Structure 1
Amino acid sequence: MGSGYSDYDFGADNDGDNIEKFVSENDVIVVKVDGLNQFKVEPINLSPYNVSLVSTFRQFPEYFKEFVGYIDNHYRTIPDRTQRGVSGLSMGGFMTFWLAAKLPDWVSAAGNFCGSSEFSAGPLDFPVRYAHADMYDNFKATSMRMHNGTSDRLRFYHEDMNRYLMNAIPHYQFKQYEASHITCGMGDMFVFMKEAFETPLPLPKKWDYIDIYPYFEVWDYKVETTRNLSGYTILENVNKDGFNLAIRNFLPDGELMPNVKVQVITAPIYKANTAYNITDTDIRTMESRQYVANSDASGSLKLQLTGSSHQVGIENLHNAPNISMTGLTIENMDWAESGEEVAFSIEVLNKGFGKSGKITAEVSAISEGLDVITGQGQIDGLEALEEKKVNGVFKVKNNRKGYDIAKFQVDFTDGSDGSWQEEFEILFKDPVVEITNFVIADGKEFTIVKEAVDSETMVIGAGNGDGIANPGETIVILVEEEGKYIRTHTYTTNKYINPGNVSIRIADPWQEYDHIGGTVKYTMPVLDAEIPEGEEIPFYFEYWTPGPISGQHIIHKGKVNVQVKGEDKTLPQVEWVQVLNDDRIEARVYDGASVGEVHLTLSPNVEKSTLKHVNWEDTPPSFSIELTDDGQGGDTVKGDGVYSARITGRPSYFYDLSFELNDSIGNKGKHLAEEPVFLKNTRSR
């Protein structure tokens, strides 16, 4: 094997297992792309392609399209995605899977050598913690293979990633070689790429896609959003009969973002200049609407939605039903456990325009190691825009321990000509033991571990700080290792956790410790104000500690039972606040009960407003406004937990923010924002 990053090009490089040999024996073109993301006058930047150290220029996924166009126009290529692949080492390996996920309509094969599994990526002002393990559905039509070495420092992160990809992508290939962090098995990878070109995977009848940018194009669809916070736009089950759409702040179960406006322009697959009936059901509120959209001269439809969870039906056949799965509920345990019989129910929506006949639902396995014990259920029929639970429960068993996800397929038939098919996933947890030595952080100061080996003293959680889980509190479950408190990532399906579209997860990066790019995540469960006295809530948890081998992290797993006592005495919490370009200010406010009133006082920050070469007017006075969540005035969507107001008649200045909040059961108090905001001149409005 080669011993470095660049000895795989020609001649005797890599023991003859190199690019020159592959090109000489096959009708292919290999192009090596410069990934440095910097100007010539800058010092070298070891985070290329606009990931990790995110910048505003050379957005590589967009540049890639220009690059492909140049190659196709200047060389004798076959200009088709089925004859185009990407491959790279280390950061280039990360980019390999990232490009394949971002541009599935441009490439059909991806070969990753020792690439990082996670990095910061996306827009400069609101990047995300991007992990390949979350993007499995983007690869349905992309051949994928990964190589790593037995002494590669990144191999422990690859194990984490493979617990998803090996089960969620049936055609995913992985091989480990006796090697370090190099292009191990290059000849095998070239054989894989060649075979992928010769026998490309078929395009799915329904496609799924996730993107981290607020605007994107894929498969001739164009999606534009007003999102200016970190998040993911999720398209599912897309075909001529409709699609599902949602925007979440993290995957897979982050908060929905209903305050974001979304425009979808479909591919030109409809009759030109024709009126189409549309249904749109918001699964968050179960509110539905019907309207007519006219296709343009090319046959595309333009649809307006929000960042909530939408199921959209497009009528191609008159008065036809359109059956779609809307939810899944585990019925016999707190979470799906590998090795055990899991019973679950599914909910189904008719997003079409006509009543269905009797519907049969048939569940089958896609991932390996699954037993479908009870795979069939029925519904007597569904009116248009009606949702029902399928009668009975489905039962499955995952025999493949050590994998975090399993994919299934459900086929719906209605006894006549109607048939619908889609995929779904269940997240499985391995059996774990219960621990009792844990601490509830509910608004008390702790010294906690951060970035693997450092520490920080700060207030953790929100509540009265007595270490007892009370209704209405936001808690963090802490464990103690060698005298240090560690925050945990928790999971539960309990109905009393995270009411009102709340889901809080924080990333703690380990980049400065292991220089790989991964992050450990911890969660902050919010307790419903209506939890009965003495209720015990089970949580599955995970946390990391550094391992003895370079690059290693050890994942600790277990379960805890948290007993809830007392009453809700916690005021509403402000999750984030932002000022928008249309002179609106928004704040995400949540509570274990329901939020009552949100008042905001803006006080001038003279120190912040002292900028060189800027002549400010006289210091403006403080002023107060009420933020509302009623869908009127400056508020975008009613009841989405984002409280808003439009600001007029104020000069440009920096302001400190002080919130006065109360909830429906009488808790009230103040919240001071950590950072000031800048208001532009609104005196003309």
Structure 2
Amino acid sequence: MIYPFQHFHSIFGRIWTVILTVFSTSAHAQTDTSHYSTVFGGTKPYRIYLPASYHAQPNKKFPVIYYFHGNKGDHQLPFGGVPALVNDASVILVAWNGRSVPQDDRPYNIGYHSNINYQVQFKDYFLELVHHIDSSYRTLTDRANRGLIGHSMGGFMSFFLAGKYPQLVSISVNSKGSPEFFAGSPSRHTLYQQRYMFKNFKGAQQEPKLDFSYEAYEGPHQLNFEQFRDAFRFVAGSIGTTAPPPQRWHHADLYSEFDVWDYAVKSNLTTPGYIELNGVTQGGFTAQTRAWQPDGPSIPGTDLQISTAPVYRPNATYSILQYDKNKDSLSNRTITADATGRIQINTGGTPVIFGIRTKNSAPEIVLADFNAGRKDHFLPHKTPASIRLRLLNRGGSTSGKLTATLSTTTPSVSISQPSIQLPAITSGQLAWTDASFNVTANQEPPADGSSPFVKFQLTIKDEKGHSWEEEFDALPFFAVNTFNEIGIDDGDSEIYGSGNGNNIAEPGEKIMIYQFSHRTKLYFEDPYIVSETLHDDLQPDKWGDGYALSSLIRIAKNCPPGHVIRFLACYEVKEWKTIKRNVTWGTFSITVGQ
């Protein structure tokens, strides 16, 4: 079997995915030591390799590479040759111990629901270990000089931690990492799917700007020295070259409190889900919650407290423009920065765009919404669609006349009219464009579990020399076969749905919809579906890092009988020996009350 490795380049640094192969256990020299961890409340071991130049040049400081082991591993790298790599690269290598307790074979407190057993989180221990290494050894402490390599479950953690702390890590290597795991605390853990989280690495919502390439190694899942060497040399050769912090970024976090790029977020979030900050610049941001990535609904009852970076004039007064997407309402208020130049903003979990501006500050155009020729956001499949934009000027002055250009790296999607001319937008104005982009989505629905969304990049320029970048996803309503063997669980199973159990979708009921015996994941836009939750399955149990998702939806109590709801849907079946995901797509409609 061929397992590829990939690397990505971005304005935040570089992310490299390596799929490595065979196992080796040659003896080697190292320094095994430990430190007291306040996070774990006890001693944690680690292995450290110092280059010969560390002792020969006592005034020199060194980059640091951290290595994260896989399942049943620990901090003891299982092969020789590492000291020579470290000497040649003149870097420090630290291999941590990812066991929550010493007797655990399974590391990092991640996996399926039954694997989340500890309140202690490795995202906290990573910060503690970095602080310990930086305070105990002569290290270069900026993010440009800190990289990660992880194998298998450690590969998942390598991307997870690099995405959680982009301000601390410049380069991340994922060797055969799991595609998705649940992560968090026992009482509140959330599905983290790597394919939807690249937004965290580069400060943009989509990944197309990452420079992607790959090679292939043939072999099984284990790690051997030669392929570790390749990963190590890539990181060591790239370290220290990271671009400066981004002027615009996005971040999604599954924890109720987090810090990123000097922004601090606190919340009362107690259920699984994410907090997102999108399109963050000095001129504002969008804040919201999502029950899941990338398109989950907002989480009701959530309060967010956001403290910005200290980028504003201390004690100065700013005008805050606030656009509530759910209420479709604009409002203005004033707020005063604190003595450090931070602004404190409180909001709920529904999506809100904030503009932070002064009188006559520069215009800033952001995307508030779009449609694809109908009232919903679905793209027609294999037929031309007219995409219109709803733009908001959250800045403090009027823009010049605008040129908007749409692009995508999604294969088989064509844009016959990629640029449109738009009038100027005044400060605080919210407006739909009259002109539209002509887009045709010809791609087939993914049969392997990859993202079905089309990723669009939008560049907007005005005649005054301003430029803004935006991104958005659109889902084609795929022209696929109709699911004809539909079954509705409205409580008859006594497991999933809830209702009168007559297998008919009726107002007020919570239902799960089947195709044959397969629970389906649903995609829809209908005002009479008032909530959706996801059910996850392991199929088969042996494959513990790939989850089949299905939808539980609730029909509104005021839904009129006879109302027709149309769905795009899919279901997933996995193969154990080939580690393959088989996804089948279909469409269907149900009539409420019939």
| TM-score, normalising length: structure 1 | 0.68
1:69 aligns with 2:131: yes
Post-superposition Cα deviations, 1:398-434, rounded to whole Å, max 9, x if no partner, equal 5665453343221223433543222222345765322
The answer to whether 1:51 aligns with 2:110 is yes
Taking structure 1 as reference, are residues 8 and 89 closer, same or farther at Cα in structure 2, changes over 3 Å only? Answer: farther
Q: Could you list the per-position Cα deviations for residues 60-107 of structure 1 after superposition, in whole angstroms to 9, with x for gaps in the alignment?
A: 112212211222233332221112111111111111111111111111
Paired AA for residue 523 in structure 1: S
| 2:380 pairs with 1:343 | no
Inter-partner Cα distance in structure 2 for 1:515 and 1:131:
15
- 1:17 and 1:187 in contact (8 A); partners too: no
**CA distance in 2 between partners of 1:368 and 1:563 (Å):** 32
What CA distance in whole angstroms lies between the structure 2 residues aligned with 1:565 and 1:94? 43
Secondary structure at the aligned position of 1:122 is classed as strand
Residues 393-408 of structure 1 mapped to structure 2, 5 A cutoff: 393-398=436-441, 401=444, 402=446, 404-408=452-456
The answer to whether the 8 A contact 2:26-2:79 is kept is: no
Residue pair 1:469, 1:562 contacting (<8 A) in 2 also: no
Task: Provide the C-alpha distance between the structure 2 equivalents of 1:190 and 1:399, rounded to a whole number of angstroms.
Answer: 40
Whole-angstrom CA distance in 2 between matches of 1:16 and 1:36: 20
Unaligned runs of 5+ in 1: 143-163, 447-457, 568-685
**Is the Cα contact below 8 Å between 1:534 and 1:563 reproduced in 2?**
no
Tell me the secondary structure at the aligned position of residue 492 of structure 2.
strand
- Alignment partner of 1:461 out of 494, 497, 500: 497
Aligned pair 1:538/2:560, yes or no? no
1:240 aligns with 2:282: yes
Contact 2:363 2:399 in 1 (8 A): yes
2 CA distance for matches of 1:489 and 1:348? 31
Are 1:486 and 2:505 counterparts?
no
Does structure 1 residue 505 correspond to structure 2 residue 515?
A: no
Quickly say closer, same or farther: Cα 1:475–1:90, change in 2 above 3 A: same
The answer to which of 305-314 and 428-437 deviates more is: 428-437
Partner of 1:559: 586
Give the aligned residue type for 2:189.
P
Give the CA deviation at 1:23: 1.3
Contact 1:277 1:314 in 2 (8 A): yes
Correspondence for 2:492? 445
Does the CA-based 8 Å contact 1:168-1:405 persist in structure 2?
no
* Mapping 1:222-233, distance limit 5 Å: 222-233=264-275
| Per-residue deviation, 1:543 | 1.5
Aligned Cα root-mean-square deviation (Å): 3.3
Task: Choose which of 542, 547, 550 in structure 2 pairs with 1:522.
Answer: 550
CA separation of 1:462/1:281 partners in 2, compared to 1, >3 Å: closer, same or farther?
A: same
Q: Would the aligned equivalents of 2:359 and 2:397 in 1 still touch at CA under 8 Å? A: no
CA distance in 2, matches of 1:432, 1:546: 21
Equivalent position SS for 2:550 = strand
1:92 equivalent to 2:154? Answer yes
In structure 2, how many angstroms separate the alpha carbons of the residues matched to 1:220 and 1:21? Answer: 37
SS at match of 1:186: helix
Which SS does the other structure have where 2:197 is aligned?
A: helix
Letter in 1 for 2:497: G
SS of 2:200's equivalent?
A: helix
Highest Rg: 1 or 2? 1
Aligned amino acid, residue 461 of structure 1: G
Q: For the structure 1 residues 522 and 74, does the alpha-carbon distance in structure 2 shift closer, same or farther, using more than 3 Å as the test?
A: same
1:432 to 461, 480, 483: 480
1:213 counterpart residue number: 255
Over the matched positions of the two proteins, sequence identity in percent amounts to 28
- Larger RCO, structure (CA 8 Å, separation 6 or more): 2
1:254–1:334 distance in 2 versus 1, CA, 3 Å: closer
Separation in structure 2 between the aligned mates of residue 336 and residue 200 of structure 1, nearest angstrom: 37
CA change 1:271–1:317 in 2 (3 A) is same
State the Cα deviation string for residues 245-284 of structure 1 (Å, max 9, x = none). 1012212222213522211111111122222221222111
Deviation at residue 550 of structure 1 after TM alignment: 2.3
Residue 364 in structure 1 maps to residue 396 in structure 2: no
Paired residues of 1:17 and 1:186 also in contact (CA < 8 A): no
Q: 2:577 aligns with which of 536, 544, 550?
A: 550
What SS does the corresponding residue of 2:301 show, helix, strand or coil? strand
Aligned to 2:142: 80
1:327 pairs, out of 346, 369, 386, with 369
Farther-moved stretch of structure 1 (217-226 vs 66-75):
66-75
TM score, norm. by length of structure 2:
0.78
* Residue aligned with 1:520, SS: strand
Query: Cα–Cα, structure 1 residues 565 and 281, in superposed 2: closer, same or farther, change >3 Å?
Result: closer
The answer to whether the 8 Å contact 1:516/1:551 transfers is no
Give the partner amino acid of 1:231.
G
> Gapped runs of 5+ residues in structure 2?
1-19, 31-75
Amino acid aligned to 2:284: G
221 and 316 in structure 1: CA distance in 2 versus 1, 3 angstrom threshold: same
Work out whether residues 379 and 475 of structure 2, in 8 Å CA contact, stay in contact via their aligned partners in 1.
Answer: yes
Q: How does 1:105-116 map to 2 (within 5 A)?
A: 105-116=167-178
Cα 1:243–1:141, aligned 2, differ >3 Å: closer, same or farther? closer
Counterparts of 2:148 and 2:372, CA distance in 1: 39
Deviations 1:608-632 (A, max 9, x none): xxxxxxxxxxxxxxxxxxxxxxxxx
Using a 3 Å threshold, how does the CA distance of structure 1 residues 170 and 397 change in structure 2: closer, same or farther?
Answer: farther
Q: Is the 8 A contact 1:405 1:428 kept in 2?
A: yes
